[in-house]
Amino acid sequence: MCLGLYILGRGRQTILGYHNEVFSHPTGGHINKTDKLSFSNQEPRRQEQVMEVFKSLIFLLSFQLLHVAKSSMVWLNENGYEDLVVAINPQVPEDANIILNTMNMIKNASNYLFEMTKHRFFFKSVKIIIPKTWKKNTNYSRLKTESYDKADVIIADPYMTHVDDPYTLHYRGCKEKGQYIHFTPNFLLNDSLTNVYGEKGRVFVHEWAHFWWGVFDEYSSDMPFYVSRNSEEASVEATSCPAGVTGIPVFQDCSGDKCEPRICRYDGQLYEKGCIFIPDIQQNTSFSVMYLQLPSVVEFCDKNTHNSEAPNMQNKICNHKSTWEVIMESDDFRNSAVINASAPPSETTFTLLQTQTRAVALVLDVSGSMSMLIAEKMTTTCGSEIVLLTDGEDPRIATCLDLVKQSAATIHTIALGPLASKELERFSKLTGGLNLYAVDGAVPSKLIETFSAITSRSGDICEQSIQLESKDLVVQHSGWMNTTVPVDKTVGNDTFFHIAWSLSQPFFFLRDPKGKEYGSSDFTTSNSNPNTARLSISGTAEVGDWQFCIKNVHTATQTISVTATSRPAYSDVPPVRIAAHMNRANKAFNPVVVYAEVSQGFLPVLGATVIATIEKDGAGAVTLELLDNGTGADTMKDDGIYSRYFTSLQGTGRYRLKVNAHGRNTTTRLSLKQNRALYIPGYRVNGKIYMNAPRPKFADKEIQVKLGSFSRISTSSLVVNTAGDSAPIYPPCEVTDLHARIENKTIVLSWTAPGGDFDNGKADHYIIKSSKNLLDLRNHFDRATSLNSSNLIPKEAGREESFKIKPENFIIENNTIIYFAIRAVDDTNLISEVSNIAQATWFIPPKAPVPLDDDGNNDGANSTVIVAIVGLCVVVVCTIVSSSLCVLQKQKRRLDIEKMQKHV
């Protein structure tokens, strides 16, 4: 798609907007014929600076770069959720049944949600975005502020071949909202998948609870069984909610395509690896929707039914609270009441929208009078986007907020420097746009990076350009700046290299992976923008490292910057991309968390080196390495989400984030998403087992693929109010990966060290407690039994800690289960939250159960006990009979024995 832009000059504002007549721009983009550009009454330096970056902005908008941050527009209206947005990916082939089945799924989900939330919530209105690749239809309305990138539900091809797991991308904490829900077209069209995932409406409620209320799965693929103390003696139970779900542990013995089920064998304290739990269709209690989606699912687990022992993500992330307790703490619950009716008060309504050609207007305001401009232009902007760049205050900005809200336009705001209006972000918040911030600099690289966050919002990968590199450096006279830009196999089309300097043109050349060199004469410069040069690579750029060699030949020190962008090499191979953002966590001290999602399509990319740089005017830049290790700020390990707490706040103001992700030859992709609906292996009905088709298995090349070397850049911004200019003081972060095991009757604890300030630095000491009751330890940590850890000196954040507990501290015998938790203390006596609770178990399992019979029946442990009792009785009877035979005559012994044996 070509993006048409035109320029309107009006006093001290400059507007670029959509127009029909297009001509080529020397940079390789497209702009329109323009009206006269006016910069009257501007300060000379500001006028020169605006002109300097002006063409770069046109180039970037026409090229449409990178990723837009996610922000849902759903709101609760009289117990009904309004404006839920479902978007179909442009690469999905047209099929009207996708729309029809989606509508039916959400209609059914509305009824289930109403029942499961005890007559409180339902879905009131839904918008479905049809891609522009589908045929036009008079029933489709025009998009306003809705877009694919902001959709709550995405319908797209699976992230792995033959994998149709519905899932929710959620990488924040308990009670915090997710990014989006993902369904595949096959899940919506193939009714046979109901057998393995459950009824579609129930599955939707499962995913909605992930997405909207921040609750987590109550099953566990990693630990499908655990040792439980719900009864007087320890026993192996299925990881479920509620506890005591009936069923049978089964192992599939497979030879080729043929599989024979058998009862699982014990391997240590638990069942062998590969053992799966087959639930009974008929249960004495109802399942939780966050466990399974069977017909008996009618509720969420509450305080009374919650299985606090189960080793699932809900217990780990939500501190062993039930899903219903978490939902009850939400704003929705507090601001609503029970509806006295047996069904939702209204059916779900649907609006069909179709993506259209994108129209973007760029407004450059350096006068502080943007309100007048916005008021004039808001009458003709339905469905379009406005990028508003300003560096000044405007006390009248609040007067046009209502008009902006009614305009049906999306406004992205860019604050340039520290003096931009404090209310600027209200425009983007009202319209669902981006709020961005650019630090003033000697070269335009930071402003170019900021504009790179504004992208095509249709979901079409062919329209997305990727920023490969952006680097600026202060270079001494005769000094060199050498930069390597890797071009990986997922990109290479429309590749541009851009160099800028603050004083005079340096000597430079670019060398491709095959040794071909491009000198300064091969780059394009412009008289109107003499401090920049750019090179367009024809065709598809060579895969490999491109070397930029630059020498400052000016007599003085100057700033030099290099940027590189490219597009996907193939229409059917998604590129590696990165999406970065910051937000304040919904927890004590409200710390700022930096996130970066590194992915290829919907697949998480592991093993990348991810570096975040946070800047604020008047303060030094802070650099952090983001981690995907499941500790500290990172919720889940190996999900492609790299995270870290940012603890170096420098008072109230705007903060700018830049994240650079580098991958080398060891970088791999992961196969399965987390927060997904459970693939149900089978059912047991009246004692007979019915197995579903096994989950598809993948070759190693599908599960882990070397992506080679790559580099990606993403930017974001955050406005922080610290309620004062003093830097906040933070405690250590909570330990989230505490583990306990028993080795030779010695208990060993292990965990990842937290920092002194959340996950930075190191703690001063630890407080370790134990209890035989999990909830007592959670609720009354201070009263629990203390362990002497005075000799344990905390390590730097991120390093592995271990602690051995001597045998004399505990009596370890069969059926022993002890719970442990830990808190870290910093040098100012600030204390972390209580860690996850670890369980140390000494359990000798019973003898192996008998095999399944021909019908797949087995009564489990009860059958084993019955067989053992019957066998014992037979032995006793035979002993009595044998003793009696001793008093009989020898000549009659054989006959009498035979008679007794026949009798028995």
Confidence of residue 407 (pLDDT cuts 50, 70, 90): confident
The DSSP bridge partners found for residue 116 are none
pLDDT > 90: what percent of the chain?
55
With contact defined as beta carbons under 8 Å apart, do 543 and 489 qualify? yes
pLDDT in tens, 431-450: 888 888 888 777 777 877 87
Confidence of residue 774 (pLDDT cuts 50, 70, 90): very high
Question: What is the DSSP secondary-structure string of 480-539?
Answer: EEEEEEEE-TTEEEEEEEEEEESSSPPEEEEE-TTS-EEEGGGSEEETTEEEEEEEEEEE
Confidence of residue 850 (pLDDT cuts 50, 70, 90): low
- Per-residue pLDDT at 294: 80
Count of beta carbons in the 10 Å neighbourhood of residue 95: 14
What 694-701 contacts at long range (C-beta under 8 Å, 24+ apart), as own/partner pairs, is 694/252, 694/254, 694/259, 696/161, 696/162, 696/163, 698/160, 698/161, 698/671
Structure tokens at 489: 């196999």
Max mean pLDDT among 116-125, 389-398, 684-693, 721-730 falls in 116-125
pLDDT in tens, 456-484: 666 777 777 899 999 999 999 999 999 99
The rounded Cα 217 to chain-centroid distance in angstroms is 14
Residue with tokens 């509305």: 110
Region 151-177: mean pLDDT is 89
Count of beta carbons in the 10 Å neighbourhood of residue 258: 7
- Per-residue pLDDT at 27: 33
pLDDT in tens, 346-355: 999 999 999 8
What is the Cα–Cα distance from 108 to 850, expressed in whole angstroms? 43
pLDDT in tens, 272-316: 999 999 999 888 888 899 998 887 788 999 999 999 999 999 999
Count of beta carbons in the 10 Å neighbourhood of residue 290: 27
Model confidence at 489: pLDDT above 70 = yes
Confidence of residue 24 (pLDDT cuts 50, 70, 90): very low
- Per-residue pLDDT at 688: 92
pLDDT > 70: what percent of the chain?
81
pTM (two decimals): 0.85
Largest CA distance in the chain: 133
Structure tokens at 660: 């650079």
Confidence of residue 226 (pLDDT cuts 50, 70, 90): very high
Region 502-519: mean pLDDT is 96
Region 643-648: mean pLDDT is 94
207 noted as active-site residue: yes
With contact defined as beta carbons under 8 Å apart, do 283 and 241 qualify? no
pLDDT in tens, 611-634: 999 998 888 899 999 999 999 999
Among 672-676, 698-702, 838-842, the least confident range: 698-702
Model confidence at 141: pLDDT above 80 = yes
Count of beta carbons in the 10 Å neighbourhood of residue 278: 20
pLDDT in tens, 190-221: 999 999 999 999 999 999 999 999 999 999 98
What is the Cα–Cα distance from 627 to 622, expressed in whole angstroms? 16
pLDDT in tens, 866-884: 333 334 444 444 444 344 4
- Per-residue pLDDT at 726: 61
Region 67-92: mean pLDDT is 86
- Per-residue pLDDT at 857: 56
- Per-residue pLDDT at 459: 72
Count of beta carbons in the 10 Å neighbourhood of residue 538: 7
pLDDT in tens, 572-613: 888 999 999 999 888 888 899 999 999 988 888 988 999 999
With contact defined as beta carbons under 8 Å apart, do 710 and 663 qualify? yes
Model confidence at 4: pLDDT above 80 = no
Beta-carbon contacts of residue 251 (< 8 Å; ≥ 6 apart): 261, 262, 263, 264, 265, 271, 272, 274, 275, 276
Confidence of residue 36 (pLDDT cuts 50, 70, 90): very low
Phi (first) and psi of residue 704, to 5 degrees: -130, 120
Model confidence at 409: pLDDT above 90 = no
- Per-residue pLDDT at 327: 97
Q: What is the mean pLDDT of the chain?
A: 82
CA atoms within 13 A on the CB side of 579: 19
With contact defined as beta carbons under 8 Å apart, do 850 and 877 qualify? no
DSSP H or E run through 98: helix 96-116
Region 488-497: mean pLDDT is 94
Model confidence at 337: pLDDT above 70 = yes
Model confidence at 904: pLDDT above 80 = no
Helix axes 96-116 and 200-208, enclosed angle (nearest 10): 70
Q: Is the pLDDT higher at 120 or at 672?
A: 120
What is the Cα–Cα distance from 234 to 814, expressed in whole angstroms? 9
Residue with tokens 């005079």: 504
Q: CB burial class (10 A; 0-12, 13-18, 19+) of residue 705?
A: middle
Catalytic residue among 52, 146, 207, 463: 207
- Per-residue pLDDT at 256: 76
Structure tokens at 671: 């196969």
What is the Cα–Cα distance from 812 to 841, expressed in whole angstroms? 9
What is the Cα–Cα distance from 128 to 110, expressed in whole angstroms? 16
Question: Residue ranges of the alpha helices (H) in 646-725?
Answer: 700-703
Question: Residue ranges of the alpha helices (H) in 821-904?
Answer: 860-885, 890-903
